[in-house]
Structure 1
Amino acid sequence: MALRMKASMFVGLFLLSLAWKAAWATVQVNMEDRVEVFLGDTAQITCMFTVSDSPDNVIIQWYMITKTNVRLRIYYGNSTMQVVDRGGQFTDKISVNGMGNSSEVVLTIRDVKLEDELEFICQVNEMSVGSEEGRTMLRVFASPDRPIITGEESGISVSNENPSKMGSCEARNGYPRPNITWYRDQSSLQNTPGEVSVVTLVTKESSGLYTVQSDLHLNVVKEDKDSFFYCEVSYLVPGGTKMTETNKINITVYYPTTSLDVWVESPKGRVKEGDTVEVHCRANGNPQPPFTFMHNMEELKSEPNVLVLKDVTRQSNGNITCTALDLDTYEETLGQTELFVDYLDPAVLIPKDTHVMAQGEELMVTCNALSSLPTHTVWFKKGKKVAEGHTLTLKDAVFDMAGTYMCVVKVPSVEGLETTGSLRVFVQGRPEIKKSADPVQEVSPEKTQKLSCHARGYPTPVITWSSSDKSQVLKLSQRETEDEVLSVVSVKVTSDITAYCNASNKHGTVSVSFSLKAIVQTTSSALSTTEGSGVVIAVIIICILLLAILGSVLYFLYKKGKLPCGRSGKQDLTKPNKGGIVVEMKSDNTEEAVLLSVNGDKKPPSDQGDKYMYVQK
């Protein structure tokens, strides 16, 4: 019996040891809750496990949970084999690595599709201790296209009772579904009864992606004409959220007119007579209503919002009224402006036109012009300023004061507003001859000389010419003005003469003389005599040279026997000698004369008779 008890205790202890061993042998599996990936990318799901006993007998199995919540195995394997289940959606796009003695395996899914967004299970089996599993959710994301915003082309009236559609915003091909938020300036718009209504339409495309369209309905106010509206699209991406904004748009808001603005657009500044005036009218409502213009209670034709008045005068002064009619309420709105036209009357001179004054007299001239504004007067003579102010005073009149005086009256505050007047002043008296050329002039005989005489006075002088020798004076030209005469004549000089210019009017006569002296050409005669003597000397030298050359030729012929003349006999130089030439050549040293006859004989001077030609060398 004791033996049975010992055997029973041994069996109990053995079973207890087995139970204790089984209680401490375990399998642990760790996995991420979710794995996120973009559509089309590769996903990797990691399964980490630990086994207290030897991991050599571990079997790994991967499962998926379908959309209908069905658990399907897609893979199993151990350290010696790996098998992908056939016929499933992952048969050709998954792989598992990390088997063997590793405590980590990775499920790789290539080219992830939207339908791959499922829950995946990693189950680890160990024969002696049992199995354990972990789960990971695969999330797939697709960023939407750039959002597009469109506004209503027609305007929105503030008088609409209910919110009106003012724009639409669309985000296409996103996953999961994008969210759209409307903004006015920097403030988001939320559904508010009677003021803001946002209508969202979500469409799931055949690709499984989402398109979201959001329409904004708004009860607009006048201030919305200056506001900008846009959409913000938010969407999920692996690891977070992204946002993108649309372009900003402005909407057309219609609101009634409550006041009008009327002004003179052109010309800028003050208006003067003769101007073309543009009067503009603008309402503070939108759209601009039709306008009616009235000038001093008279309705005028005009453009839609512009009144044009051409060649205005001082009679155009008055009130210009613009009237606008609201086509919805048929209420009229008025606006007005005052038109004032500045003017400047023609200048009035006293005395006017012309005035004749005696030498030494004094004259006071006034120039005034009626104007709506202060004026300023300047006096000019021949373009040069001579005085300022409305009065011009001429004292101790002389001929230089004669001429045309112009007064220019301007309105300094209005550009282009000016008028002019002129007065012609004559100073009467005996003529005066202006200084001309040198009164004494030297002229070659038989030459023609031009003379000019410039006289002034009032009445206009009469010029006559005369000369001391009664020679003809030919008038070439004469130019006359109101008080001056310029006469030009031509005088032919044969000897010393004096020409006279006589200027006369009813107050007397004045003359000026011009002395013309004929020049004797002495220098030219001496030069001619010298030149003539030089010519004679040159001719004599040439003749001597020719005679010497001729004698040499005859002597040469004689020596050669070419001359048939005899050597004897004495020739009478007084008798004719056909073909004979007698030349005496005398040396300066020996004073010996050599006479060559036609036959070549050389004779002393004593034998040659009395008649022969000597040529001195």
Structure 2
Amino acid sequence: MDVRLSASLLAGIVLLFHGFTAWAMVEVSMEDRVEVFKGDTAQITCMFTSDDGIGALTIQWFYVLRTGEKQKIYYQDATMQVVDRGTPFTDRIMVNVTAATGEVVLTIADVQIKDQLEFICLVKSLTDGVSEGRTRLLVFERPDFPTIEGVQTGISVHEDTLSKIGSCEVKNGFPKPNITWYRNNAPLRVSDVVKVMPSTTTESSGLFSVSSELSLKVTKEDKDAQFYCEVTYLVPGGTRMTETSRINITVYYPSTAVHVWVESPKGKIKEGDSITFNCHGNGNSPSSVYVIRHEDNEYGLESNMVVLKNVTRLQSGLYECISTDMETFEDLSGNTTVFVNYLDHAVVLPTNMEVAQGEELTATCNALSSLQTHTAWFKDGREVLVGHTLTMKDATFDTAGTYKCVVTVPEIDGMETMANLRVHVKGAPKIIKPEQTDLEESVANMVDLTCHVRGFPAPSVIWTTRDGKVLETTSQTETEDGVQSVVSVEVTSEDLTAFCNASNEYGADALAFNIKAKSSGVIIAVIIICILLLAILGSVLYFLYKKGKICGRSGKQDLTKEKSSKDNIVVEMKSDNTEDAILLGVNGEKLPPSNQ
């Protein structure tokens, strides 16, 4: 055969053979990735096509080491199925082959973080050649709920450097979670006034813990801002997000205005009150110092307040509150005006008056005040007149006494003053007759006699008896309209008359007290009963004697013969009809005078 023809035929046969081989080669297809949560079961599917039956195929599974080398974990042919020993998957994998669908499934139980590897499925046919596919196993773990912690100290807007606001932390996630800071629902981006410092920790379990620290150049507006963290993390098939709670920070900023006011008392102020001033700036810098100034006086504040006790009218005027920022040494001030109302002591003119009976009296009462006043006059607790002037016509002894002038300020409770007027009505003494001047008392009792005399000048009182004897006065007291005199007398068996004699330069008056002595009815009754009992006893003894029942007498017997005188029983009887006393013996006979 021609060499050229032979060469052409050989080339054609080779081309035909190679074309047939490409058409009949075994093919493997796999997903790029399989995603699963840590602890779950993963299934990696390997799809193959081949003209050879399953008995002509060899199936192997590998995973790729970190170094790039392949490590076999499973082998299968027509005669055996072998799981390689000594690998991390030896006790956790299972392989199922479905020839009808050309499907090989590698099942991995209890997937761990370290199982995130690339797995290779290799299928070899006796006639169709070899093919492999690769799938990456991705493992996920939801992180713990994130936490946030703000700084506990206040931050001044005067700080030259960025100030730490807080820190966020999220633990035990896989893959690594991401933290984003928010202020008032707007994400914070790193800039000259915003700094975020993240850090990541790999736990022994292979999980990631992430923390983030936020620092800011704070402004006054940050005092009301809410800060929080958003954490995003991957899960099979997507992304999830969670947020921390909101925090606030304390921002110290200087005041731009100062306000001062009277906290108490509410309403009008009077002398003697305690005034509480409150002073506040619209800032909150702890370096600010407050004082309240009134004329030449300065008062330091505690808790933005100062108390002035027992104020007087001299403390009326303008009060200025001054705030000094000790960082910038700038002053701000606000002011308020205070008026302290006053009521001077009441002045009564005259304070003492002497008028004759029938005359007219006039007195005035005034008290200087910053407010409208009300004046009233009282006597013995009863209101007698309203107004500044007290006028009374036709004075009598009833007019005499003490009048109280009370001046009040109706607009302010408790604001009042008072003064007294003493009125004397001149006239002759007048004794006020008591309900009883005729008395009856038992002998030896002491009786107090009281004499109330009206008149001015104060009358002189002398107590006397009917026969002109002067009695010693027990007590004498000057009253509103005169005097009251008391004398104590002892009741004797004789009736007594005591005279109260009162006199002054205008005249005199007298009053008699009659005291009648009375005997004791109880004593008289006792004496009568005793006499009756003695009479009865004498009669009984005489009867017994006559009957011979006494001393063994039989018939007539002279008791005096053998009886000593000490045995004689003698009863003395008195009669209203005779002055002689009769002595009776035991038999009732009258004894001779010699035996008496």
- State the secondary structure of the residue aligned to 1:374: coil
Q: Take 2:351 and 2:415, find their aligned partners in 1: how far apart are those partners?
A: 23
Deviations 1:567-596 (A, max 9, x none): xxx9985699979xxxxxxxxxxxxxxxxx
The one-letter code sitting in structure 2 at the alignment partner of 1:212 is V
**In the alignment, which residue of structure 1 is the partner of 2:574?**
none
Letter in 1 for 2:240: T
Partner of 2:169: 170
Query: Given residue 148 of structure 1, which amino acid in structure 2 is its aligned partner?
Result: I
The number of equivalent residue pairs is: 535
Partner of 1:199: 196
Q: Relative to 1, partners in 2 of residues 1:577 and 1:222: Cα closer, same or farther, differing over 3 Å?
A: closer
Partner of 1:140: 140
Q: Residue 434 of structure 1: which of 432, 435, 441 is its match?
A: 432
Q: Deviations over 1:9-28 (max 9, x none)?
A: xxxxxxxxxx9xx99xx999
CA deviations 1:416-443 (Å, max 9, x no partner) are 4332222111122222323435222212
Greater mean alpha carbon deviation, residues 538-547 or residues 265-274 = 538-547
Mapped to 1, the partners of 2:77 and 2:361 lie a distance apart of: 137
CA distance in 2, matches of 1:334, 1:576: 133
Pick which of 44-53 and 212-221 moved more.
44-53
Task: Give the drift of 1:515.
Answer: 1.8
Structure 1 unaligned residues grouped into runs of 5+ = 1-18, 556-569, 580-612
Report the CA distance shift for 1:384/1:235 in structure 2 as closer, same or farther (over 3 A): farther
Q: CA deviation at 1:141?
A: 0.7
CA shift for structure 1 position 507: 2.0
Residue equivalent to 1:348:
347
Change (3 A) 1:281 1:444: closer
SS at match of 1:115: helix
Could you list the per-position Cα deviations for residues 24-67 of structure 1 after superposition, in whole angstroms to 9, with x for gaps in the alignment? xx9999999634324xx353537699999998999875543444
How much does 1:354 deviate?
0.5
Contact 1:352-1:422 at 8 Å conserved across structures: no
SS in 2 for 1:73: strand
Tell me the C-alpha RMSD between the 2 structures: 4.8
Equivalence map 1:457-496=2 (5 Å) = 457-469=455-467, 473-481=471-479, 483-493=481-491, 494-496=493-495
Q: 1:408 to 1:143 in 2, by over 3 A?
A: same
Task: Report Cα offsets for 1:78-119 as digits up to 9, x if no partner.
Answer: 99976442222233x515387999999773534x54212234
Aligned to 1:90: 89
* SS of corresponding position for 1:177: coil
* Distance 1:476-1:61 versus aligned 2 partners, 3 A rule: farther
1:73 equivalent in structure 2: 72
Note if 1:209 corresponds to 2:207: yes
Q: Is the 8 A contact 2:63 2:71 kept in 1?
A: yes
Contact 2:223 2:248 in 1 (8 A): no
Cα deviation per residue 1:441-461 (whole Å; 9 max; x = unaligned)?
212234332222222221112
SS at match of 2:406: strand
Q: 1:230 to 1:455 in 2, by over 3 A?
A: farther
Structure 1: distance between partners of 2:277 and 2:478? 55
Question: Do the aligned residues in 2 keep the contact of 1:35 with 1:43 (CA within 8 Å)?
Answer: no
The 1-side partners of 2:46 and 2:464 are apart by 144
Aligned positions of 1:85-484 closer than 5 A? 85-91=84-90, 93-96=91-94, 107-110=107-110, 112-120=111-119, 135=135, 137-144=137-144, 146-151=146-151, 153=153, 155-157=155-157, 165-185=164-184, 187-191=185-189, 193=191, 197-207=194-204, 208-236=206-234, 241-255=240-254, 257-265=255-263, 267-275=265-273, 277=275, 279-287=277-285, 289-290=288-289, 294-296=293-295, 298=296, 300=298, 302=300, 312-325=311-324, 331-349=330-348, 351-469=349-467, 473-481=471-479, 483-484=481-482
Which residue of 1 is the match for residue 497 of structure 2?
498
Corresponding position of 2:593: none
The 3 A distance-change label for structure 1 pair 203 and 480 is same
2:151 alignment partner AA: G
Larger displacement relative to structure 2 (261-270 or 302-311): 302-311
The 5-angstrom pairing of residues 580-591 of structure 1 reads: none
SS at structure 2 position matched to 1:88: coil
Preserved CA contact (<8 Å) 1:381 1:405: yes
Cα deviation digits, residues 377-413 of structure 1 (max 9, x gap) = 2323334433333233333322223222222222233
TM-score (norm 1): 0.70
**AA partner of residue 113 (structure 2):** L
TM-score, normalised to structure 2, is 0.73
Q: Distance in 2 between matches of 1:274 and 1:515?
A: 60
Q: Counterpart amino acid of 2:532?
A: S
Q: Which amino acid aligns with 2:170?
A: A
Q: 2:144 is aligned with what amino acid?
A: P
Q: What is the identity percentage for the equivalent residue pairs of Structure 1 and Structure 2? A: 39
Task: Provide the C-alpha distance between the structure 2 equivalents of 1:433 and 1:32, rounded to a whole number of angstroms.
Answer: 134
